[in-house]
Structure formats: structure tokens, C-alpha cells
Structure 1
Amino acid sequence: MTFATLALVVALGVAGPLLALPRRLHLPVILGELIAGIIFGTTGLRILDAEDPIFVFLADMGFALVMFAAGTHVPVRDPAVRGALGAGLVRAALVGVVAAVAGWAVAQAFGIGHGAIYAVLMASSSAAIALPIVDSMRLSGPPVLALTAQVAIADTACIVALPLVIDPGNAARAAVGAVVVAACAVVMFLILRYLQKTGAQRQVHEVSEERKFTLELRVSLVLVFALCGVASATHVSIMLGGFAAGLAVAGVGEPRRVAKQVFAISEGLLAPLFFVWLGARLDLRELGEHPQFILLGLALGVGAVAVHCTTRVIGQPLAHGALAAAQIGVPVAAVTVGSQLGVLVPGESSAIMLATLCTIVIATVAASRLAAKAPV
């Protein structure tokens, strides 16, 4: 990768905010970034080489920070959300059971033996998508609290489950790796909480703010990349490492200034770079060569929304169920890891990303309807 290519990638990342600019549409920023990558990557003009090692490494950094942000978005310290954990757990469990049946059915219908992968994809939610939508549209009330708990539980469970189902032959190794990453995250949380209780964190904060050292930001990045290093060493996706680091930081409370600094690095460069890279590596021409995968993508996307809407039978409004179906981290990891391992067949990666876009579009529409009905 050259500086000229890097400049092009950063410029393409601006397509995200431009496409999301009309407020009435409520389009997610990543949509424009993915489309820009698709146009300039393997599917379109083929100007961007998604196999470039430097491009891949920078994209991995972006993915780690995307999952870190998702972890920090989980409101583990909010007493109201903790009180809604019971309802959230029941709903996530119901979705998981229905998704297991739906995943098997889709796999059988298309003759692909990936029923377990499809089940995890359909059951997954995304705190990185759903919670910012909730905040931006100022949705509130008991149903939203239960939704928040449900999304957090489903997101965490599916992130842990994906490595186990995508490579069943090494499921034991993946399980051990997940336990190691979780244990490191717990140790990280305990150390951070100790520093907070002793006042050391406050002292570092004051010195850093006064001297412009950005020490807390540097420490946060060390924690994220260190845990991703542990994940890689134990043959687990960096998705789990980034997410676990985010949960550890969320457990003690991320300082607002640090959150803004991490947001600037992530959303200003690395996250857009990752989504442009992801779009560039997708070959949507495969969908033309294998048109049945268009139907697979629609089946997975609409199926995921339908699966989440089954919680209507236990009292959750349909719009909240559709919002909980929004996905990003788990499908992206499935495409990334599945492609690396050679697990996915040609066209399947594109089908999974098509399904992801379907869930985001439907969740955005559902959230817009909720916002329109909310009292002013």
C-alpha cells in the first residue's frame, strides 16, 4: 500500500457520512463505506487490492477498534439495564432456539451444510448498530431497557459461539482460546477497577490533561491490541479480543474524554478503512455467477428479522424485535474468518453481507417508526 492508495481509501471513507447525511433516511455510515469499497475493489474497478498485507493489517486494527467500541457500548454499569437482564435473557434465549431451527432449515433448502453458522448469524444482534440508533433517536422506556439487555446478551453469546461453529474441527481449541481471552479481560477489569479505587486513575487523568500526554488513550489502545494479540495467539478471532477489552473498560466506566479520543481515531481513520477494505474484498460478481446466493442472502437477512420478531409472543413489540436484529460484528467476522479458513463456498460471503445489509435497513426503518411514534 502506498500513500496515494491510503489517501484514496480515506477519501472513499467519506462516502459513509455523505450517504448518511439526510437525517430523514437514518442510513448507517458503514453503508456508504461498504459501497465505496465494492465499487473500487474486487467487484468493481479493482483499483484497491484487498490482499495487500499492509491494507489487511490496517483493516484488522480497524476491526479491533470497531469491536472495542461495541463492547464499550454495552451498558453494564447501568442499574436500570441490569434490572432488565431477566427479560433480555429470556428473549435472547427464545431467539436462539428459533434461530437454530431456522438456520438448519435454510442450510437444508440451499444444500449447504452450514446450519450452525446460519443459526448464529440469525441469532446475533449488534450493540455497535442497535445502541447508537437508540441513542440518536432518543428512544427510552422499559421496552428499550429490555431491548438493550437482549442485544448485549445476544451480541456477547454469538461472538463467543461463532469460532466454535465456523471451525468445528478445532472447536475445543477455540473454546480454550475464548476462555483465555475472557480470563485476561477479567484481570484487565480488576486492575482498572483497583486503579480507579486507589485514585491512581484520577491522578493519571489530571497529569495527562494538564500536560497533553493522552496517557489514557495510549493505555486504552495498549489494552485493546494486547487482548487482540492474546486472541490471535490462542487461535481466536480478534473480534473477541476487541469486544472483551471493550466490556472490561465499560465495567469501570470509560472517561468521556478518552471515549472521544478513541472515537476520533476509530471513526476518523481505522473503522472507515476497515469497512472500505471489507467492501473491496467482497466479490459480488459471484452473486451473478451463482444467483441462488442472492436468495440465500435475502433468506438469511429476512429470516434473522423474522426470528427476532418471534419475541412478539412474549410481549415484545415487533419494531423492537426488528431493531434487535441489526447485525454487523458477527457477520463480518464470519466472512473474514470463514474466508481465511476456506470454509465458505464461492458466493457465500457476499450472501452473508447482503443479509447483514438487509437487517440494518429493516432495523433502521423500525427505529424510525418508533421515533415517529415517541412523544415529543
Structure 2
Amino acid sequence: MSHFGFHTLALLVLVGMAGPLLVAIPRLRIPVIIGELAAGIVIGRTGFGIVDPDDPTFALLANIGFALVMFVVGTHVPVRDASLRAGLPRAVLRAAVVGVVAAVLGVVLARVFGTGHAALYAVLMASSSAAVALPIIDGLKLSGPSVLSVKAQIAIADAASIVLLPLVIDPSRAPKAALGAVAIAACAGVLFVVLRHFERRGTHERLREYSKQHDLALELRLSLLMLFALAALATATHVSIMLAGFALGLVVNGIGEPRRLARQLFGITEGFFGPLFFVWLGASLQVRELGERPEFIGLGVALGVGAVVAHGAGRVLGQPLTLGAMAAAQLGVPVAAATLGTELKLLGPGEPSALILGALITIAVTTVAGVVFGRHAPAPQA
């Protein structure tokens, strides 16, 4: 590969447009990341080898994108939605039941495929993605107590799985990862207290107005400062930057994310760094290894189906199967697992691609389940 420069950036932005192009296909509802991952696969290790995912500059930009993507995911968790509190107890109980079923399935899959990654598979199958499921629920205008409860369940599973992933993906480093996670959590807690203090005193509002009047984007600058500082702490303590981004997203969300900041974050994340990260991830994957080890295709399918089965266990507590299937949506956790597994060489050949395949299956199931539930759900009261 030639030296990383503007020509490479232009190529990455160009191929990243595959995501929006696929989204434009009517009725298919293909998530934008599918096109970005596919584009990365074509120009990366599996395809023509045009880009080198190991290039330090490419890797750094991708890590910035990873942190920003997880930051945005954190802001999507509905931590301030008071209407979710009524369904919280049953949501916690269902999440626990799902976790038990996923743990059993994780042991089974690890033995069947001989990988030894039972804990990792359990976390993946128990996880949910607020960034995927909640927009589907809101877009279909689903409502009612059962919908509010499943939203709470998704938020719980999303947060818990992101915290657990660094601990289970490499058990030998779990104690260090736990200490690093505690350090990130402590710093996030301090940031929350400080930011809430400034919010209550009106300092935050004055900062917004000053920034808006002078076109300074101070909120975005301060958010990036906190994000990169937490990411630096995560790197120093050998914790994934996914936790740093997610924790800061929860903090900003808990204070109340201003619309101006949300638009700015959306612009830099979805417009450049996010697509670049997913193209990098696709370029890092060796999908050909699935052909060389076709049993890992079976692993990917098993993980996707296992996630749907595990979340379907909520039926024993009265949850409709369609809502359980919607809660099975995965994105951030499998992507993070594939990223960490690739960077740290913790997963076997073909295994990262299998994790992504499993996530894609859950996204397809969630989309279909949402439409089915919407057709049979009672119309909302006027």
C-alpha cells in the first residue's frame, strides 16, 4: 500500500458512500453500516488489499471513530426517560432470565465449535443495541406499557454488556480490565457531578449562548476534550476505548444533550469518523477465512439465532415474542468484540467475521419483528 494521505482519505469517504446508497433501496431497510462494512471488505484484506488496516494513521482515525460511535450509542440510552421507570422491575427480571439462557447457550456453542469463548458468546447473545432497536421502535410509532418495558430492558442489556465485554473477551486480563473499568466509571462519575453543578448554576446555558453567538462550537470542543481524555485513560489502563466513549455518552445524556451538540456530534460521527471506522473494520476482517473454515459460518448463524432464542425467553414472563426478538438486536457489542479480537489477536481465524454475521442476523430479525408487532398492536389512543 502507498503512504496514507489525502488520496486514501478520499477513497475511504468514497467507498463509505456504499452505506447510504444501500439505505436508499426501497423497502429493504438495510442498515447503513452494512454497506460500509462491505466496502471495507472489498478494499481490505479479504478483497483487493488497496488499504492497510494496520497503518498507524488509519488505525488512529478508526479508533477516534470507534470512540465517537460508542459516545453516540451512550447518548441513545434513555436514562432520563421517566416513563421507563414503571417497566424497570420486570425489565431487570427479563434481562436476568435472558442472561441465564445466554450463558447456557454460550457454553454449548463454545464446546460445539471448540473455541473456548463461552463467556464472550454469552455476553454477545445477552446484549442489546439501543442504537438499533430504539430507532426502529420509534420509527414504527410503537407504544404501550410492554413497549416501554422492552425499551428499559434494551437499555439495561446494552449498558451491562458493554461493561462486561472487556472483562470476558480476555479472561487473563480481567482483573486489570476491571480496575480500568472502575477508573473510567469513577472519572465519568466526577464529570457527571461537575457538569450537573454547572448546569444547575446556569453556567452551561451561558456557555451555550456565548458559543452560539460567536460560532465557537465550544460544547463540541469540550465534549471531544473529555472523550479523548477518557480514551487516553482507557488506553493507559488497558481498557477498550469503547467503555470510555459509552461512559461519556451516558454522562452527557444524563445531564441532557443539547440539540446543537447532538447535531454537531451527528455530523462529525456519521459524516466522517463513523463510516471510516466501519470501513476500517471491514478492511480488517478476513472473510475468506469463513470459506476456509465454513464451520464459523455456522457459528455466526448460531450466535444470531441464539441471541433471538435467549431474548425470546422473556415469553415465560409474559413478553410477546416479537418484542423479545426486537430486544435481541445487536451492533455495538459484536462490533467491539470483533475490533478488540482483531487488534489483540484474541479470536481465531474467521471468528471476528462470525461475530459480525451473528449481529447482522439479529438486525434483520429485529426489523421484521418490529413490523409484525406494529401490525398486530392496538392503535395508540388519541
Q: TM-score by structure 1 length?
A: 0.97
Question: SS in structure 2 opposite 1:202?
Answer: helix
Note the alpha carbon deviations across 1:156-205, whole angstroms, 9 max, x for none: 11111111111111211111111110111111111110010000011011
Question: SS in structure 2 opposite 1:113?
Answer: coil
CA distance in 2, matches of 1:49, 1:341: 17
Q: How many residues align?
A: 376
2:357 to 350, 354, 361: 354
2:173 to 165, 170, 173: 170
Spell out the pairing of 1:1-376 with structure 2 (5 A cutoff). 1-374=4-377, 375=379
Question: SS in structure 1 opposite 2:270?
Answer: helix
- Change over 3 Å in CA distance of 1:256–1:311 after alignment to 2: same
CA contact (8 A) 1:27 1:364 kept: no
CA contact (8 A) 2:286 2:349 kept: no
CA contact (8 A) 2:284 2:342 kept: no
Note the alpha carbon deviations across 1:306-348, whole angstroms, 9 max, x for none: 1111111111111111111111111111112122222211111
Farther-moved stretch of structure 1 (236-245 vs 341-350): 341-350
Amino acid at match of 1:204: L
CA distance in 1, matches of 2:239, 2:312: 31
Note the alpha carbon deviations across 1:216-273, whole angstroms, 9 max, x for none: 1111111222111111111110010000000000111000111011101100000011
Amino acid at match of 1:331: P
1:301, distance to aligned residue in structure 2 (A): 0.9
CA contact (8 A) 1:76 1:82 kept: no
CA distance in 1, matches of 2:75, 2:26: 25
Runs of at least 5 residues in structure 1 that lack an aligned partner in the other structure: none
1:361, distance to aligned residue in structure 2 (A): 1.2
1:23, distance to aligned residue in structure 2 (A): 4.7
Question: SS in structure 2 opposite 1:84?
Answer: helix
CA distance in 2, matches of 1:9, 1:264: 17
CA distance in 1, matches of 2:119, 2:53: 28
CA distance in 1, matches of 2:294, 2:302: 13
CA distance in 2, matches of 1:27, 1:195: 41
1:105, distance to aligned residue in structure 2 (A): 0.4
Q: TM-score by structure 2 length?
A: 0.96
CA distance in 1, matches of 2:367, 2:99: 22
Note the alpha carbon deviations across 1:118-176, whole angstroms, 9 max, x for none: 11111111112112222222222212211111111111111111111111112111111
Runs of at least 5 residues in structure 2 that lack an aligned partner in the other structure: none
- Change over 3 Å in CA distance of 1:23–1:131 after alignment to 2: farther
Question: SS in structure 2 opposite 1:116?
Answer: helix
Percent of aligned pairs with the same amino acid: 59
1:112, distance to aligned residue in structure 2 (A): 1.6
